[in-house]
């Protein structure tokens, strides 16, 4: 047990597992103590997937052991310790009372709720909390706020270019490599009827003793939670995360760009990196990820459109959504521009639906705690948008079921990008589409009873029915958005009888979805 003459109590949260953290600058192994805690509420404030719980707890325990091996004192509370308290704040208060430190410090949390909880506990104990910047990221909330000041609209592309210039990424003589900033137009390929062919199998990580102990704990403490641990093979240490990065750079990055938006039956991973959870737990440094990708381009191992598209996700999108989150929290969480108020359908927790695309995306989510960005945005997210599900419920589902979900990155992507609930802060238009989009990007529709071209009838695709109904319901609100002009013109071509039939079928669909958890 750590000494009781503690100078500084250094708080490490479950998504702050980087040894180069500012928290360890000048760390005095003789007088300072690291504090870490597993508490029930962090697994239950949303109905969390078993794999997400297991990943966080296993990675935390491995990090604890790494720190102790390096000679640091770590005061660590496990979920199965006797008398463990429900919340981080309560556990921290008890530790402060027991160790009686002179100071308390932390790196800024990744979630507004957790940051306020820690601040309140420390303040109640009579301390002024030292909050250090999170230098894992390549920008700060303050830099983003300065970028946002005076702008009528915030768009990823402009912030991304600023960061490219600031960090000298994919630049030649101050200009973008290849002459263009963005190769998104080259990153929308499909596999065609022949399919993806033989795909490179991602590197898997067999659970070690620590992870297997966590599995037993999760099954004991959270037996009714969604998902499975049967397929768990996520990196839980920095060494494993580095190997996962190596595997992606060598085997999947070359084809990532062209096929990053594609979908295929029973292929959950395709050419995606599978390193988002390692980045978000800070097992990987994004600078190293960007360096390795850029190096692959310069060595001829990967084409520019793949490398730029991937770097845009790390240096661009990841930094951008974090800026949005801290600029607008806490009120951002309550936004609901479209007035959506319906409950989340029950099948989001079971995958039990006749719609093959949703069955595929949700099924792999429950198996692996993973789905790639198009499955999240244009399958599960799209359906919730078209149905009119309360965006808070959609957010809580995404936060619960994906192993890489930390609120700073998940909330803006879900509430803003996917559900358009923030009135265009994140996205310039709602990402609404009919079943034809899914048909074009995948082979899902070939294994489905519904026809993506039909909006009315027994075999009409619910996506298509609900798409036209969504446009009709929100026509007045969307009329001033130039990016919606073509879709609204297509709506105008439908006569009154056809629209009435669509709206009747859409309402019947919603009635069927009222049976929720």
Residue-wise pLDDT tens digits, 396-420: 999 999 999 999 999 999 999 999 9
Helix (H) or strand (E) holding 141: helix 141-148
Helices (H) and strands (E) in the chain, counts: 23, 7
Per-residue pLDDT tens digits for 31-58: 999 999 999 999 999 999 999 999 999 9
Burial of 413 (0-12, 13-18, 19+ CB in 10 A): buried
**Across the strands, what pairs with 36?**
76
3 state DSSP class of 34: strand
Q: What is the DSSP string of 202-238?
A: PP-----HHHHHHHHHHHHH-TTSSS-STT-----SH
- Looking at the predicted structure, is the pLDDT value of residue 447 above 90? no
Rounded Cα–Cα distance for residues 49 and 400 (Å): 6
**Is the per-residue pLDDT at 517 higher than 90?**
no
Q: For 83-127, write each residue's pLDDT tens digit.
A: 999 999 999 999 999 999 999 999 999 999 999 999 999 999 999
Q: What is the pLDDT of residues 8-25, one digit of tens each?
A: 999 999 999 999 999 999
pLDDT in the model for residue 152 = 87
Q: How far apart are CA 77 and CA 95, in angstroms?
A: 10
Report the percent of the chain where pLDDT is more than 70: 99
If pLDDT is split at 50, 70 and 90, which confidence band does 185 have?
Answer: confident
Residue 515's pLDDT band (boundaries 50, 70, 90)?
low
pLDDT tier at 3, thresholds 50, 70, 90: very low
Beta bridge partners of 8: 103
In the chain, the largest separation of any two C-alpha atoms, in whole Å, equals: 79
Secondary structure (3-state) at 131: strand
pLDDT of residue 393: 98
Mean pLDDT score, 116-144? 97
Q: Name the residue among 256, 274, 298 with its Cα closest to residue 368.
A: 274
**Overall pTM > 0.85:** yes
Q: What is the pLDDT of residue 1?
A: 43
Q: Report the chain's terminal Cα–Cα distance, integer Å.
A: 43
Written as six digits, the tokens of 177 are 């490599």
In the predicted structure, residue 2 carries a pLDDT above the cut 70: no
- pLDDT at 514 (0 to 100): 74
Q: Is 75 helix (H, G, I), strand (E, B) or coil?
A: strand
Instruction: List, for residues 313-334, the tens digit of each pLDDT value.
Output: 999 999 999 999 999 999 999 9
Is the CA virtual torsion 348, 354, 360, 361 positive or negative?
A: negative
* HSE value, Cβ hemisphere, 13 Å, CA-based, for 62: 27
8 A C-beta contact, residue 334 and residue 112: no
């Amino acid at each position: 047990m750590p000494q009781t003459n503690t100078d500084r109590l250094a708080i490490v949260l479950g998504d702050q597992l980087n040894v180069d953290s500012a928290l360890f600058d000048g760390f005095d192994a003789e007088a300072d103590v690291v504090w870490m805690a597993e508490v029930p509420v962090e697994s239950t404030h949303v109905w969390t997937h078993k794999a997400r719980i297991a990943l966080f707890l296993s990675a935390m325990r491995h990090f604890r052991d790494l720190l102790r091996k390096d000679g640091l004192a770590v005061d660590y509370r496990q979920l199965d310790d006797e008398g463990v308290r429900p919340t981080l704040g309560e556990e921290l208060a008890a530790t402060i009372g027991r160790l009686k430190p002179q100071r308390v410090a932390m790196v800024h949390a990744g979630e507004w709720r957790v940051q306020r909880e820690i601040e309140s506990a420390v303040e109640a104990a009579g301390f002024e909390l030292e909050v250090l910047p999170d230098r894992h990221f390549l920008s700060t909330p303050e830099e983003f706020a300065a970028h946002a000041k005076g702008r009528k609209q915030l768009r990823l592309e402009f912030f991304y270019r600023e960061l490219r210039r600031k960090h000298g990424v994919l630049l030649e003589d101050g200009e973008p490599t290849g002459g263009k900033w963005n190769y998104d137009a080259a990153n929308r390929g499909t596999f065609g009827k022949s399919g993806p062919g033989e795909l490179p199998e991602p590197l898997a990580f067999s659970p070690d003793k620590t992870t297997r102990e966590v599995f037993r704990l999760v099954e004991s403490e959270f037996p009714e939670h969604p998902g499975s641990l049967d397929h768990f093979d996520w990196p839980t240490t920095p060494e494993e995360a580095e190997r996962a990065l190596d595997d992606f750079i060598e085997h999947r990055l070359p084809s990532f760009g062209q096929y990053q938006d594609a979908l295929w039956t029973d292929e959950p991973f395709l050419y995606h990196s599978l390193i988002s959870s390692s980045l978000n737990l800070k097992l990987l440094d994004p600078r190293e990820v960007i360096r390795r990708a850029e190096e692959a381009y310069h060595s001829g191992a990967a084409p520019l459109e793949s490398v730029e598209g991937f770097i845009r996700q790390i240096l661009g999108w990841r930094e951008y959504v974090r800026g949005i989150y801290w600029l607008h929290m806490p009120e951002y969480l309550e936004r609901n521009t479209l007035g959506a108020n319906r409950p989340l359908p029950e099948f989001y927790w079971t995958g039990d639906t006749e719609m093959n695309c949703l069955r595929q995306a949700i099924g792999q989510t429950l198996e692996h705690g993973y789905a790639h960005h198009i499955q999240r945005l244009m399958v599960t997210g799209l359906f919730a948008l078209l149905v009119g599900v309360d965006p808070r419920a959609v957010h809580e589902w995404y936060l619960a079921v994906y192993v890489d979900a930390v609120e700073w990155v998940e909330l803006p992507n879900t509430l803003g990008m996917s559900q358009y609930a923030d009135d265009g802060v994140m996205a310039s238009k709602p990402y609404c589409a009919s079943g034809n989009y899914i048909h074009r990007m995948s082979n899902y529709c070939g294994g489905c009873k519904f026809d993506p071209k039909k909006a009315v009838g027994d075999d009409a695709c619910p996506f298509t029915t609900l798409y036209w109904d969504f446009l009709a319901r929100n026509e007045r609100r969307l009329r001033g958005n130039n990016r919606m002009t073509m879709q609204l013109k297509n709506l105008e071509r439908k006569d009154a009888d056809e629209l009435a039939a669509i709206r009747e079928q859409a309402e019947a669909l919603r009635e069927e979805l009222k049976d929720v958890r």
